[in-house]
Amino acid sequence: MLAEADLRRCPPTLDLAIPSLTYFLDGIAEAGVQVQRCNVASASDAPQRPIITEQVLLLPDQGVGLSDAQRYSLHLASAAHVAAHLLFSPARLPVGKLKPMGLAVISAIEDARSEQLLIREHPGLRQLFLRHSALPLSGPDLSFASLVSRLNLALLDDEYRDDNYWVNKGRDLFRARLDALDDYDSFRAIGSILANDLGQMRVRFNPQQYAVPQVYRDDNSYLWTFDQVSDQSVAEVRFQNPQPPSPPPLNEPDALPETAVTEELVVRYDYPEWDARLQMRRPDWCIVVEHRTVFVGVENQKQKNAVSRLMMSPSQHLDRKRRMRRQWEGEDIDLNAATEVLVDRRLGLAPDPRIFLRPGKAARRATILLLLDMSQSSNDYRADIGGTVLQLAKRAALMSLGAAAGTEDRVAVHGFFSNTREAVHYFRFLDPGQACNDLILRRIETAEAKYSTRMGAAIRHATALLRKEETDVRAVVLISDGAPSDIDVFHADYLIEDAAVAVREALREGIDAACVTLDPQAASYVRRIFGNGRFSIVDNAMRLGTVLRHIYARVSHGSI
């Protein structure tokens, strides 16, 4: 499937393959789906298969013993199979009175039907699926897994020949309806017929030990809802919520000087809110409670070197106050140079052709306020990043801080959560231009996520703080993991509209706003809030740092 040059570039581990698998799945399925490593042990004895949950594909690290290229190709096949389900399979149908064996056979037929539909558009995928559908070498037997495995192969591979009556019957029934692949019900009927035949053939089925034979296929839990079934024999994969291990500290802060004295300042501010239903501003509607630590008697320490340094090119803009003389090209003729040209001509000398004048460039200074969404949801432990979303966001913010240290940019790190309109807590961890010291790092590190996300009020407060800055570029960059919400708001659009109005108000004042979001479903609202080109959806959390750096560079160059 992969060209030779690509084989050398195949990611050697599942973790490294996840970003490209996410893009692949997003592209093929045209939907935002996260790909994560599945670290959860299956409750049954059966080998593990990929699992699709809501908007997440959990991939077990299969293919031990395969080469990098083969393993990557196996994961690609899994992603393609999942795309087939997402595009063509009805999800979470009630199981009803179906027996486990019926479920397994109907699921196998559905796997084949959805793959055929996908292959219609992507004929290259047939080869990919076939590569990972090979039968075990032990030879055909009449166990359930063997029969289903052969049926799967027969449905996928036109050249495969089998001597089993049941397999051939399945193939014939399936082939007869190939021109009506969109008709789910008729294929389900084929599954029922085949399952019934197996029952009469007295083929034994042990749900505890059965796994979908083709390793690249998912466990089909996506297709069914088991809620109404009390039958314990149904194979269930139980998800244990992994207990987050104690997080490693972001940076090991040095001890503070003993003379350090801090004061916690708490100030209340009132802000309006936009009510989209009434189409009016509600004045003084939200109370932002600002928390700030003031240092008394401590000299600001130099910027922590521990925060990894990234090179950022200082941004420049055209400055008409700087006039560059004697240029090859330019807007105007440089009179001094032109006079010299005429003098040189009279004297019979070769004149200097650099006679133009043009404006020079000056460095552009930026103030960037990184605003962390510290709502409860960012406490979620994510196995793929080995920590919580908030920890990742903090790391990414600190990386940007380090990146800015080499430039003239002023970076602030603030955070917020809200508990109704009367308590939008806003934390000013680090203000623009303030040197970062251990205490600040520790405060950022220990800040906890709670409650909800009232984005509009937080953006208004950030805007108000940025208004005092005098740099050429001023911008708020929100790092978020979900849509705005709060417990006193019941209308889904209310806070989205309010945040959109807050962003528009900021833009009107010349303060940029951009957003990096970890919510794969953000497409539905983030464009409404921030507008075209002012957001980036990060499907793969490990890329947050890179994406944030990219947005940061664009914002600080004034090119958002």
Partner 1 sequence: MNLDAYRLDVEPYYRPCGHEVVLFEQAHSHRLPLILKGPTGCGKTRFVEHMAWRLRRPLITVACNEDMTASDLVGRYLLDADGTCWHDGPLTLAVRYGGICYLDEIVEARQDTTVVIHPLTDSRRILPLDKKGEIVRAHPDFQLVVSYNPGYQSRSKDLKQSTRQRFAALEFDYPEREAETEIIAHEADVGRELADKLVGIARKSRALKDRGLDEGISTRMLTYAAMLIRDGMPPLDSCAMTMTNPVTDDPDMVLALRAIVESYFTV
List residues near partner 1 by CB under 8 A: 1-3, 6, 9-11, 19-24, 26-28, 30-32, 76, 80, 121-128, 317-318, 330-333, 338, 341-342, 355, 358, 507, 512, 523, 527, 531-537, 539, 554, 558-560
Nearer to partner 1 among residue 30 and residue 183 (C-beta): 30
- CA 100 to CA 220: how far, in whole Å? 12
Smallest distance, partner 1 to C-beta of residue 386, A:
19
- CA 210 to CA 217: how far, in whole Å? 13
CA 224 to chain centre: 27
Half-sphere exposure of 429 (CA within 13 A, CB side): 28
Smallest distance, partner 1 to C-beta of residue 379, A:
25
- CA 421 to CA 488: how far, in whole Å? 7
Closest to 362 measured CA to CA, from 558, 560, 553: 558
Q: Would you give the DSSP letter of residue 62?
A: -
Ramachandran bin of 202, using left for φ above 0, alpha for ψ from -120 to 50, beta for the remaining angles:
left
Smallest distance, partner 1 to C-beta of residue 323, A:
13
Smallest distance, partner 1 to C-beta of residue 14, A:
13
- CA 383 to CA 226: how far, in whole Å? 26
Nearer to partner 1 among residue 99 and residue 358 (C-beta): 358
Smallest distance, partner 1 to C-beta of residue 10, A:
8
Q: Taking CA 542 as the corner, what is the angle to CA 539 and CA 547, rounded to the nearest 5 degrees?
A: 70
What element of type H or E holds 559? none
Strand pairing category for 356-363 and 332-333: antiparallel
Q: Which amino acid is at 138?
A: S
Nearer to partner 1 among residue 23 and residue 381 (C-beta): 23
- CA 240 to CA 70: how far, in whole Å? 30
Nearer to partner 1 among residue 27 and residue 433 (C-beta): 27
For tokens 């800040």, the residue is: 447
For tokens 């052969």, the residue is: 150
- CA 282 to CA 272: how far, in whole Å? 5
Nearer to partner 1 among residue 357 and residue 405 (C-beta): 357
Smallest distance, partner 1 to C-beta of residue 328, A:
12
Smallest distance, partner 1 to C-beta of residue 413, A:
23
Question: What tokens were used for 116?
Answer: 């055929």
Nearer to partner 1 among residue 125 and residue 444 (C-beta): 125
What element of type H or E holds 66? none
Smallest distance, partner 1 to C-beta of residue 152, A:
19
Nearer to partner 1 among residue 268 and residue 320 (C-beta): 320
Smallest distance, partner 1 to C-beta of residue 440, A:
30
Smallest distance, partner 1 to C-beta of residue 169, A:
28
Nearer to partner 1 among residue 23 and residue 269 (C-beta): 23
Closest to 535 measured CA to CA, from 522, 545, 546: 522
Give the 3-state secondary structure of 84-132. HHHHHCCCCEECCCCCHHHHHHHHHHHHHHHHHHHHHHCCHHHHHHHHC
Cβ atoms of residues 466 and 507 within 8 Å:
no
Nearer to partner 1 among residue 130 and residue 234 (C-beta): 130
Nearer to partner 1 among residue 452 and residue 480 (C-beta): 480
Smallest distance, partner 1 to C-beta of residue 445, A:
29
Cβ burial of 348 (10 Å; 0-12, 13-18, 19+) is: exposed
For tokens 């990742």, the residue is: 392
Nearer to partner 1 among residue 124 and residue 297 (C-beta): 124
Helix (H, G, I), strand (E, B) or coil at 39: coil
